[in-house]
Structure 1
Amino acid sequence: MSGVDWERRLYLTAHPFAYPLLRGLARRGPIVRVPRLGVVVNDARLAREVLMDGETFRKDGPGSPGDLWTPILGPSVLLNMEGEGHRALRRRLTELFTPSYVDALCARVLAEPLGRMADRLARGGVVDLVDTMRVMAGTVIGEVIGLEAGTEDDYRHLFEQGEEIVSMVSLRTRRFSPAQVVRARAVLDPLGDIAAKAYAAGDESTVMGRMRALGLSEAEARGAAGAFFLTGTETVATLVPRLIALLSDAGLLGRVAADPDGLLDRAIDEAMRVTTPTPVMLRSVHRGVEIGGVAVGPGDRVLIATYNCCRAYGPFDLDRPHPSELRRLWFGAGPHFCIGYPLAMAETRAVVRTVLAAAPLEITRREAARGVLIPTYRRLVVRSAGSAGSAGSAGSAGSAGPARSAGGSAKEAV
């Protein structure tokens, strides 16, 4: 089965009804009004226009992400803010994730798990990249919110807690029910307590300590920790297995492995375009305007079909240049472009470089995940085809046993 077929299978397995609907809407044109759903944008240029206009298209109105996340994260967590308050908080938080800081953070906290994975591949063992990424994503986000070092099972459980909350979201969800809010708070409140403890300690080598030094209040730090927890795991965890699969299916693993400095970032961007970690973005219309010839007014809900916008440029192609209107659209644009982008890239680079160092690689087993928001693999098992011990190892179970379905991101991060 080709990479295109596997990507389609992932979507159909995760969303057997919503995916055909989404793709059908793409054939209706660049923008279309859909009863009970909203005004759907399928064109990258129009999507960028919407995202750049934070005064007209907002995240804090009816039908916006604010309706969804404010009851569990509080009122001031970027992803539910607009205006000067948003700009002021964003300016302070952006200083948290400088490229040098996140590179050092990932190198430090992922050194041991990356070393174990590299050793296993070198010895001819198999690695389930889905389970591996759940552990690594949990490790990184645990460091961000101030968790003390734990075991792989601790980090796997942390990831699953976020997955439990995100799994409550569907493409039609506008608000959490009271029972869902209670469930989410039961997960997030203890994590907020951990973040508050790290904030109070004031150690500026930690993210929470740096928040205090930057002048954020404890409540803002707690809210940011919850937002980072929900938004900072699924993007990377779901991308890495799909990136390796796309490169393998296209026969490009060896090419990128031979020149990671020149090709890895290009491969990551192209894989993100194809997989689209934020397949849909929501905005609430604040004032009357036209988008692509369609009139919208206050109270209208705009649904940016990011997946349609990105996939309009064709299947995975390492040599395809991205036009300006498409540039990293999956991370948003304008005032809400994801501040966690440097961290996501640093983590992805660190893991993928380690995997590619074991090339040539072969995929020995893969399955699509069901019941997830972001389509992904339930497991994707690889081994090094060139290692001395690779013969006969394909039947092994994976790096840490079978993984449960990986979750998905329900938003763009900020």
Structure 2
Amino acid sequence: MDRRTLLRAAVAGGAAAFSGSLWAGAAVAAPAQPGPSPYGPLGTADANGIRLPAGFTSRIIARSRQTVAGTSYTWHDAPDGGACFPAGTGWIYVSNSEITPNGGASAVRFNADGSIASAYRILSGTNQNCAGGATPWATWLSCEEVSLGYVYETYPQGGTTAVRRAAMGRFKHEAAACDPDRKVIYLTEDETNGCFYRFRPTNWGDLSAGTLEVLVAGTATSGPVTWAPVPDPSAASTLTRSQVSGAKRFNGGEGCWYADGTCWFTTKGDNRVWAYDAVNQRISLAYDDSLVSGTAPLTGVDNITGARSGDLYVAEDGGDMEICLITPDEVVAPFLKITGQSSSEICGPAFSPDGTRFYFSSQRGTSGSSSGGITYEVRGPFR
């Protein structure tokens, strides 16, 4: 039985969106190569400047420094990492603000029919909030992308003050992904010689205490790895990435996504998507633009998310201003393209809880400035 048939059987049987066994083998065998998208070619740009496959439509949800429609809330500058959460009969999309000072994060709450119910601030007074990750207990981990930055646990429903989680280490945080099977949280570091970390809370669901570990391996792009504790997560005298001999280096850690035994993370410095097989403790390459036959469709790799189909969606920081998908059949192809915004980057890809709506932002929009950010929604026949 091939991987596509296995994937369909898993989805039909109500299995998790991704299967680590399907994907880990694929990633080890060979990185993804260009091919036709399961949704077909991109059409001409719509009224919002978005090129989409047939059957898909876009709408603008919010613009930086403008009031979110139907609310009195002004949307933040430089929208970045994001995620969706269930909320009653509707849902919430949260978005970071990658500015200094007073970055933080905001939320938009949607009614069951997709109309906007409210918008509000969930984190204030922090710096350069880039990406992050959702937890199984429905909080949003907002990460500071500054030297000695912190992770803040925020509450998308509102009404609860965000909490600094110092035990998760001080470094140039980028993204986070929760692994409920091993009860750890993976963390990326946006440095040219950064590391890949995991945090083991003392009690799962409580991030106030725990152990920060760093991945240790050789220089190879695939093979077995181990983990070692970081002696001083506070980095009081030595940077976290410099505390453990043999810690593996990654060139500009970006997005991070976990599903069913595999943690996927991206590195922008070398345009790679990595797969960490948490079951067998191995790493491999799911994508590398230098190993592509012909023209690479995906460059400037950044934020990453997954769909129920098993497809990965990878946003570009620059590149062709596209969101590309990588299928379990090891095919990489454009899913959408933003036109007229070459001085921006695409951030915060996330699916609504039911998988029918897809959110993302153009951080600097048409102006090329952090004050010109635009947040979008796409609807269509997602598989």
Q: TM-score range by the shorter chain?
A: under 0.3
Structure that is richer in helix per residue: 1
TM-score for the superposition, normalised by structure 1: 0.25
Q: Tell which has more relative contact order, 1 or 2 (C-alpha 8 A, sep 6+).
A: 1
Q: Which has the larger radius of gyration?
A: 1
TM-score for the superposition, normalised by structure 2: 0.27
Structure that is richer in strand per residue: 2
